[in-house]
Amino acid sequence: MSKAFRKGPPNRKNPKFTDKKMSNQQPNEKSLEIPIDPSVLLRHSRGERMDVRGVHTKLHKVHEKRKDINIEFAVQQAARAEILLQEEEGFLEADIGESTTNIAQRQIVENVDITTATKHFNLALDFGPYRTRYTRNGAYLLMGGKRGHVAAFDWVRKSLLCELNVMESVHDVTWLMNHTMYAVAQKNWVHVYDAKGTEIHCVKTMHRSVRLEYLPYHFLLNSAGENGFLSWMDVSIGESVGNYNTKMGKITVMTHNPWNAVTCVGGSKGVVSMWSPMVREPLAKMLCHPVQLTAIAIDPKGHHMATAGLDRKVKIWDIRKLEGPVETYHTNTAAAEIDLSQRGLLALSLGNVCEVYRRDKNLSEERMKPYIRHRTDGPISSLRFCPYEDILGLGTTKGFSSLIVPGSGEPNFDSYEANPYQTRSQRRETEVHSLLEKIPAEFIVLNPTQIDEVDVPTAKERLEQKVKLLTMKPPKIDFEPRKRNRVTKAKLVQIKQNVKEARFREAAKELREMKNKLLAEEPPAESSDFIPLESKSVLDRFKTKKKKKAAL
């Protein structure tokens, strides 16, 4: 046997003991650490560390510190993983002294790859004006003409799903959970169709709707009617969740906030009101313009809101703090439609002219500048950015136009959130997961991070409860004695009366003790921090006193 195998176990009690293999390491040698960009760490940050001064036991302090260490490690790993995201957004860059607004779509198509060039097309249709909507993954397009034409197709492959004419006016269209179902706001009711164009439901609780929105995480179909009513319907169970009168007249400007699922409605007085299906009154109101609003839009992250009014101004608001305007832009005419892309581009429709604004990040400018300008054959009635694509869809009175807008779409997508290359099996699996993870409508509030707070009763509720307790009377005692042999009726009546009186006295005593205890908890009328409504002075004796009513 060699000497290496006859060697005894190391002395673990001696802290200075080191193995021979470890002795070869240089004392000044350090492990290789790849630096991380602080801005990337800030983007993935989950907040500050927990303050453990309020934690009582040492075990829980160690547990919270270990949790913070794991969170920091996860943030660092997420920041390092960004190196795998090879795709970056592109943009147009003009020569010195030139502007990108002079670059036409024809020039862009000639200088891009074949795949991107095929995404620019025009459809000449005779049933406009058209309302358009893309799916969440940007793979399918839905169009609805005012004169009854409805079409759904895969706009990338140019593959038609269905096409029909409903033989009545169409005011708005929207996809539901995916491309297999969509809703159409027709003349009287909202109709639901499948991917083959077969009508599967008619929602008669949504009467004469002119605008439609769909909340994907809550499975709620939201509509705004000509009579000023807002309606919500849960499409997973087919039940109405809320139906309220906004008292704002005909609603033509409506959108929803993707961050908290609150519905934002623009009124004729320049006020944007925010609604939830669980509250009859608006959660908040913002005076955005002194005149009537023409369009509102919220970015996909739910951070900023863009509004346009008849005063020919476009304003950007911080919708999280309900503050602003952060930025204000002046236009030649009032913007009829407005939309914000995933990368922060702003698109406006000014009659038959579409303008796209972009902020140059390289120059770190605070204001956006005109980026692309395009003129169509007819007035623009709908304007939508396609998710995860550098495409802007325009619905006009004479058809549809697909414009290439470099840098508008998010180049890196999360396949668990929205997958543009989704297969049939993945779609079915996503449907099941979405139904299992459906968020109840009760959680739609302005700040979704505060839904876990304790429901504290208001002062009015406490006062009503106190008044009810003080005015409570002893309950009526109902007792019927058991009939026994050799007991006369007079004896039974006496037993019944004695038991009733005894129970009444006990209930009255308990109620009296409860009232005395409640009154003893009241603070004195004039405590140290009591501020009287009227100050007392020595001149109060000269005040006229109220005359007492004469006794009859």
Q: Compute and round to an integer the Cα radius of gyration of the chain.
A: 35
Bridge partners, 538 (sequence order): none
pLDDT above 90 as % of the chain: 56
Three-state SS at 357 = strand
Chain centroid to Cα 337, Å, comes to 21
Are the C-beta atoms of residues 255 and 296 closer than 8 Å to each other? yes
**Residue 69 in tokens:** 């260490």
Average pLDDT over residues 481-508: 82
pLDDT at 450: 72
Tell me the pairing of strands 239-245 and 253-256. Answer: unpaired
Are the C-beta atoms of residues 403 and 354 closer than 8 Å to each other? yes
Are the C-beta atoms of residues 170 and 148 closer than 8 Å to each other? yes
The 10 Å Cβ neighbour count of residue 92 is: 18
**Residue, of 18 and 448, whose pLDDT is higher:** 448
In total, the chain counts a number of residues equal to 552
Are the C-beta atoms of residues 228 and 251 closer than 8 Å to each other? yes
Average pLDDT over residues 109-126: 93
H/E element, 303: none
Are the C-beta atoms of residues 336 and 295 closer than 8 Å to each other? yes
pLDDT at 6: 43
pLDDT in tens, 331-368: 999 999 999 999 999 999 999 999 999 987 666 667 88
Residue 513 pLDDT grade (very low, low, confident, very high; cuts 50, 70, 90): confident
**Residue, of 441 and 539, whose pLDDT is higher:** 441
Spatial separation of the C-alpha atoms in residues 197 and 179, rounded to whole Å: 12
**Residue 122 in tokens:** 């025009």
CATH topology of domain 100-443: Methylamine Dehydrogenase; Chain H (2.130.10)
Spatial separation of the C-alpha atoms in residues 260 and 283, rounded to whole Å: 12
H/E element, 142: strand 141-145
pLDDT at 447: 87
Three-state SS at 515 = helix
Average pLDDT over residues 274-281: 93
pLDDT in tens, 377-427: 999 999 999 999 999 999 999 999 999 999 999 988 888 889 999 999 999
Q: What ranges in 359-458 are assigned the alpha helix state H? A: 424-436
What amino acid occupies position 488?
T
What amino acid occupies position 21?
K
Residue 122 pLDDT grade (very low, low, confident, very high; cuts 50, 70, 90): very high
pLDDT at 96: 83
pLDDT at 237: 92
HEC string of 317-350 equals EECCCCEEEEEEEECCCCCCEEEECCCCCEEEEE
Are the C-beta atoms of residues 229 and 190 closer than 8 Å to each other? no
pLDDT of 13 higher than 50:
no
pLDDT at 3: 42
Give the residue carrying structure tokens 């407005």: 338
pLDDT at 1: 43
Residue 14 pLDDT grade (very low, low, confident, very high; cuts 50, 70, 90): very low
pLDDT at 5: 39
Among candidates 45, 50, 32, 93, which has minimal Cα distance to 72? Answer: 45
pLDDT of 532 higher than 90:
no
- Dihedral sign for Cα atoms in the order 276, 279, 280, 284: negative
pLDDT at 259: 92
Q: pLDDT averaged over the chain?
A: 85
Cα separations in angstroms, 59 against 49, 341, 356: 17, 48, 57
Question: Could you report how far apart the first and last alpha carbons of the chain are, in Å?
Answer: 126
**Residue 215 in tokens:** 């909340």
Three-state SS at 492 = helix
What amino acid occupies position 501?
E
Residue 275 pLDDT grade (very low, low, confident, very high; cuts 50, 70, 90): very high
Give the residue carrying structure tokens 């500050």: 48
Are the C-beta atoms of residues 202 and 191 closer than 8 Å to each other? yes
Residue 286 pLDDT grade (very low, low, confident, very high; cuts 50, 70, 90): very high
pLDDT of 15 higher than 60:
no
Spatial separation of the C-alpha atoms in residues 247 and 275, rounded to whole Å: 13
Are the C-beta atoms of residues 390 and 139 closer than 8 Å to each other? no
pLDDT at 162: 95
Rounded to two decimals, the pTM is 0.72
Are the C-beta atoms of residues 155 and 402 closer than 8 Å to each other? yes
pLDDT of 320 higher than 70:
yes
pLDDT in tens, 196-246: 999 999 999 999 999 999 999 999 999 999 999 999 999 999 999 999 999
pLDDT above 70 as % of the chain: 86
**Residue 261 in tokens:** 């699922």
Bridge partners, 263 (sequence order): 256, 275
Three-state SS at 101 = helix
pLDDT at 94: 83
Among candidates 165, 154, 144, 161, which has minimal Cα distance to 196? Answer: 161
* Sheet of strand 239-245, all strands in order from the earlier edge strand to the far edge: 209-215, 220-225, 229-234, 239-245
What amino acid occupies position 539?
L
pLDDT at 308: 96
pLDDT at 93: 85
Are the C-beta atoms of residues 432 and 159 closer than 8 Å to each other? no
